[in-house]
Chain A
Amino acid sequence: MKLARPISARLLPFWIGLSLAIMLFAMQDGGYQGLGRRRYYYQPGPNVPSEFYWSRLQYTSSYAGGSSYGYRGFRGGWSRDYPKADNDCLIALRRLTRINSTSPLNVVDLDSDHVFDYPWIYAVSVNNWTFTDEEAKRLHDYLLKGGFLMVDDFHGTDDWEHFMAGMRMVLPDRPVEDLKDNDEIYHVLYDIDEKFQIPSEVYVNTGRTYEKDGYVPKWRAIRNDHGRIMVAICANMHLGDAWEWADSPEYPEKFSGLAFRIVLNYITYAMTH
């Protein structure tokens, strides 16, 4: 009787690679979320055109992205917490505002002019982002023509420097300013008079609201010549996790509540200013 041949040690890397590829492929299908986390399936729904598209920026990760260095596809740094965080946010937007946002989640890339069709984009882990000159110019034009960019989920001094390295390619001469509590962006929909650091899910196990040396939350912005905020910067905090874990009993509601109010204000501001 002929037994099956044992797997050759020489082919072992091939089989491991194939298994990983299948696993990654499966993760993309339906939006499987994260290893070691609870499963989350995102049902995109019909592709209905809408006024507002929740658009997440896709970019190429830099060396700061660690394992995702040079990676642009799914699981790159840009896709952190996607799609649950985005979808939770979109649900809140639909329920709490009159903004027409029937369209499913959207991912935009700076490698084409389609980005100009979405005047609001959200980017995370922006300490990882890198741009080609063409991409930087496209984002520069996008912002000057009226587009709005919200960045989130980067922490500490090094992350800030990496974020600014990309930002300086886009808007070399624009100053970054700290937003005051009385700024219009915090009163356009909800009056947000008190803000605090919004931690990631790590808070549940550690009780720590900061990461790296990002002890103090930075609510910052870059404006255009007329004073309109073009880039809203949420540094040393993680609003994406606050949306994503909003239905977790362990994650404090006060963080999620503020995170939702912040993003709804930012979107409303983007659509009115």
Chain B
Amino acid sequence: MFEFFLKYPRSVYSRGQFALLGAWPKWMLALLILSAAAGLALLVRSRLPRAAPVMRGWRAWVIWGLQTLMAALLLVLLWQPAITVAELKPQQNIIAVLVDDSRSMAISDNGSTRQAQAVKALQNGVLASLNRSFQTRLYRVDDVPARIDSLSDSRPSAPSTRLGDSLKQLSDETSDLPIGALVLLSDGADNSGGIAADAINALRARHIPVHTVGFGRERAEHDVELDDAVIAPRALAGSRLAARITLHQRGYAGARVTLSVRDITSGPAAGQAKILASRSIELGPDGNLRTETLMFDIGGAGARTLQIAAASLPGEENTANNTVTRVVNVGSEPRRILYVEGEPRWEYKFIRQAEEDDRMVQIASMVRTSANKIYRQGIADPKELAGGFPSRPEDLFAYQGLIVGSVEAGYFTPGQWELIREFVDRRGGGLLLLGGQFALADGGWNASSLIDLLPASLPTRAGTFHRDADPKAGTTHATAELAPAGVDSIITRLVDDPAANAAKWKKLPYLMDYEDPGTPKPGAAVLVNTITPEGRKLPLLITENFGRGRTAIMATGGSWRWQMSSPVGDTAHDLFWQQLLRWLVSDTPGPVAASVPAQMLLDNGAVTLTADVRDRQYNPAADAKVEAHILGPSGVSALVEMTPVPDSPGQFQAAWSAPRTGAYLTEVTAQRADPTTGTVQEIGRDVLTFQRMDGVAENFHTEQNRGLLERLAAQTGGQYWKPADLPKLAVAIPYSEAGVTVRETKDLWDLPLVFLVLLLLRFSEWWLRRSWGIV
């Protein structure tokens, strides 16, 4: 239809440039159009008095508009409109035909596999028609492109697809060939998460259009698929973790499915795996992404392999996409928190009591018992904190977390303020400020240099701390209420079920006191609110990430009532504080912090190890010697030297490739020579885990990824095709600026559409006059 009215294929118009070939200047065309419009207007106006009464109003100007349009169109035709477009020279260019041979192409849709449909489409004349004007080269693509002599050489068995990498490699390898266009036949199931910009740029630099042909159903009929599962890659032994599971379904709206988290470190078999958490949920509308959070205890130290699964439903087309695997490195080294308290108070006692059962978090504390006395608890040796709050970085940075209780800001020197800032920003520690009579705004913290460190803008006035709870007087009291951001927080989850958890928060005993922490800053999360005796809602627990660390405000000193006024055995108070303090210190890095971009290596063993190395003061240790010792399955062992990253002091990297599937344990050690003695000393070490899995990614996203194919075509100047439209491909292919081209000029004055418009204009005028009764 398009070519019937417009004479040329769509790609001519999308790639060509409009031109007027007439010798007369263009301004003259504009002038003549304006003159015609003006002349017709004068004519219409002069005839208005003699016209029929019905034509004396707006109807006359409608007629004028139609006549003006017609005159303008005729004048444009006199200037010879045309379109110029680059066109491939016949027999001088190569068309690369790429057939996806990954395993997802073996999925059977409508009785035959996607790959078979692609081959059949090419063999049904498409390849022959291309061969008439061009040379064609056949490739199969998965992780890499490989040239094939015949379509029968393509078998859908490759464990993964990386279209972007393949296209870039093909572009590089054929840089000396006159490639006129690429034709990609695929389901768009790419395992690398999309097509990288460098691949697109490489194709665009050579002006090579990619014509994509999509195979496979765009919608599954009956399927549940896990899109992602996010679990913290590191944890302390005995930690409670959250698995945020994203899934979608088709064909099962309203059905119930059981989500589970299993520890399969010892093996996936039923007798070896251990169920850590499970919950039944009701599935939502078709295609909607949905996120559920499952909480679980990670258990003891070591590398843990977790399997997150949605139970298979009856009639499900693809059950292999119901399971994902994650690895968690569970550390056994206890974390230490320095707790500074300005006065003996119950909150201090009950926080310490809550931590008695948590062997992974230790609190070293100093409390001002009298005007000139400090009482220390939990210290490792008699010298610890003997001089009061640390004033040297190496002393404060020995801790992973810092709690400041009811202490005036003025208790600290400006140097110590700066140290606290560096503790969070540079060292990556966690800072928690509590409410109290000497805390936050009432303690003058709103005038300290640390205001930008805090997750809230503190009030500028004093008198923000309230001890409204007077049991003797029987006054009303402040209570806590879970905020929306706290619903899925690991800190505030006291009960596994979210609804029961919210109810539990509502039932907690009232707070003995509360403080107005001010306004939460953008980026901060309010997890819990205080409902004051007057019914006002104030933030109670606010958290925020700052620099390499994190900060929080718990705006009360009276949560101890949650312990004293709850039944014996109620764990709410202790659990809350244990989870809050674990959050405070879990992510605090050591002197050596090793990482990998992704812990799951899917179908590709290439991995880049990165280590951030700091000295005792947590300044970048650029002169360190850093090594990674990797242990893998079947006796794989490697010692890899990590090299400094240019322009990033303290950052070291090494590229390595995991040769086999399985779990890998990597220990990164950093050493440096002592500048005075010359002896080599260890700065620190870190352990990380990653896992290579092959053939898993192809089980996911098995529906045709039309969006990816359309974007790829649009970004390169090509076109997305349905298999049924493929016979037209040979007509569109020649219009390309790649390869050996010639610029063609095509007349537009004789388009059928032009004559149709002229006729329509005349017919419209006649029809209007007739319907108005003047003909």
Binding site for B on A (CB under 8 A): 47, 49-53, 96-100, 103, 106, 113-114, 116-119, 141-142, 144-147, 188-189, 226, 228, 267-268, 270-273
Contacts and interface: CB of A to CB of B under 8 A. Distances in A.
Nearest to B474: A114
A266 to B, nearest CB: 12
19 contacts: A49-B470, A51-B437, A52-B345, A96-B370, A99-B343, A113-B565, A114-B471, A119-B346, A119-B560, A145-B563, A146-B350, A147-B564, A188-B369, A189-B370, A189-B373, A268-B375, A271-B344, A271-B345, A272-B344
Contact of B344 (A97, A141, A147): A97
Contacts of A226: 353, 356
Please classify the interface of chain B as helix (H, G, I), strand (E, B), loop, or mixed, using the class held by over half of its residues.
loop
B536 interface: no
A96 B372 CA distance: 10
A188 B345 contact: no
Contacts of A114: 471
A141 B570 CA distance: 12
Contacts of B383: none
B368 interface: yes
Please classify the interface of chain A as helix (H, G, I), strand (E, B), loop, or mixed, using the class held by over half of its residues.
loop
Given A51-B343, A97-B370, A189-B369, A272 B471 contact: no
B473 interface: yes
Nearest to A118: B471
A268 B369 contact: yes
A52 B406 CA distance: 15
B472 interface: yes
B352 interface: yes
B371 interface: yes
Interface in B342-363: 342-346, 348-350, 352-353, 356
B568 A271 contact: no
Given A189-B369, A272-B367, A100 B343 contact: yes
B352 A272 contact: yes
B568 A145 contact: yes
B467 interface: yes
B565 A98 contact: no
A116 B510 CA distance: 12
A99 B564 contact: no
Q: Which 10 A-B pairs have the closest CB atoms?
A: A49-B470, A271-B344, A117-B471, A49-B467, A98-B343, A116-B564, A141-B568, A116-B565, A99-B344, A51-B345
Nearest to A227: B356
Given A145-B568, A189-B369, A268-B344, A273 B349 contact: yes
Q: Tell me which of A106, A113, A119 has the highest count of chain B C-beta atoms within 10 A of its own C-beta.
A: A119
B344 A49 contact: no
B348 A272 contact: yes
A49 B511 CA distance: 13
Interface string B670-713: 00000000000000000000000000000000000000000000
Contacts of B352: 272-273
Nearest to B345: A51
Given A116-B564, A189-B370, A268-B369, A47 B343 contact: no
Q: Tell me which of B344, B377, B468 has the highest count of chain A C-beta atoms within 10 A of its own C-beta.
A: B344
Contacts of B377: 272
Contacts of B368: 98
B147 interface: no
